[in-house]
Amino acid sequence: MFKLVGFFGGEMLILRLLLLTMLAVSLASCGTFVPSLRDWPNNLTDAQSEEMVQAIVRAVRCELRNAVTTAVNDDLASAKVNGDKPYSDFLDNWGAEVALTLTIVEKSTVGPNGDWTPPARGSSVFTLGGSVSLSSQATRIEKMNFFYTMRELYLRPGQTCDFDRDPTKGSLLVTSDLKIASLLSSRITSVALGQTPAPAPGRQNVLSHEVAFQIVSTGNLNLGWTLARANINPNGGPLFSASRDRTHDLLVTFGPLDKAQLGQSLIAIAEQSHFTSQITSGVSNGLNSALRQ
């Protein structure tokens, strides 16, 4: 009968301490706390996260205002030059439903393995091998919804809506051109060219625009120890890994105002389209995050 001599002392004690230390370090990093909305080093306070959210909201609002104003003014200028009627009149009774979704997923995994060879007895050599795998994941999803009428968004002469495209604000929704104006202009142009009828109450009166930025960062730590009778992580695989997956998703749905609601919401078909798009986007983002695990 073979005895594991010194299992609780010497090298095995060192091995156990190392394993416990690595587990503690991994759990203290990613996946066991509610993730911050912002990345390091601007993730230490709630005020920094609030600063990013407000920067996104202001950027989106200004993008909408500038897009609506550009699309309408270009149409009015074209009508004046060509002696034609404006084709953007339908926007007077339209609105915009906006959904902002911030999703952050943090995960850490520790998977050490090792083997231990006790003193040989006779001609036989005994080796004890084992591995440990432990992972933790934390997900944070924050959603914000806004509603604007086109008349509220349109900038009158002398009005401006500017914002700082500062990359330190922490979101590509702030620094990027969201291409909202092209959607509105395309719809107006299609009417002007006679390719589509002017919008009237009906199923076709919904315009949807979605922009999503996903950034995934990962890090691995590969370490190994060779002792007299024990090897820790001898295979050279990742001993510790951590990842942070953040998605900033913007969904804008344009449609006619609901007169029954005094113009404070879109008509039912537009609201339903907006809701369906949110569900589809959530499922898609969830699948993409799962595939990266």
In tens, the pLDDT along 153-193 reads: 999 999 999 999 999 999 999 999 999 999 999 999 998 88
- What is the distance between the alpha carbons of residues 104 and 291, in angstroms, rounded to a whole number? 15
Q: What local confidence, expressed as pLDDT, does residue 156 receive?
A: 94
- What is the distance between the alpha carbons of residues 260 and 264, in angstroms, rounded to a whole number? 9
Whether the per-residue pLDDT at 217 is higher than 70: the answer is yes
Whether the per-residue pLDDT at 260 is higher than 80: the answer is yes
Instruction: Name the average pLDDT for the chain.
Output: 81
Which residues does residue 220 pair with via DSSP β-bridges, in sequence order? Answer: 241
Which one is predicted more confidently, 247 or 117? 247
- What is the distance between the alpha carbons of residues 63 and 161, in angstroms, rounded to a whole number? 8
Q: Per-residue pLDDT averaged across 102-129, rounded?
A: 73
Cα end-to-end distance, the chain, whole Å: 44
Q: Of 30-39, 42-51, 141-150, which range is least confident?
A: 30-39
Structure tokens belonging to residue 293: 């695990």
- What is the distance between the alpha carbons of residues 222 and 195, in angstroms, rounded to a whole number? 61
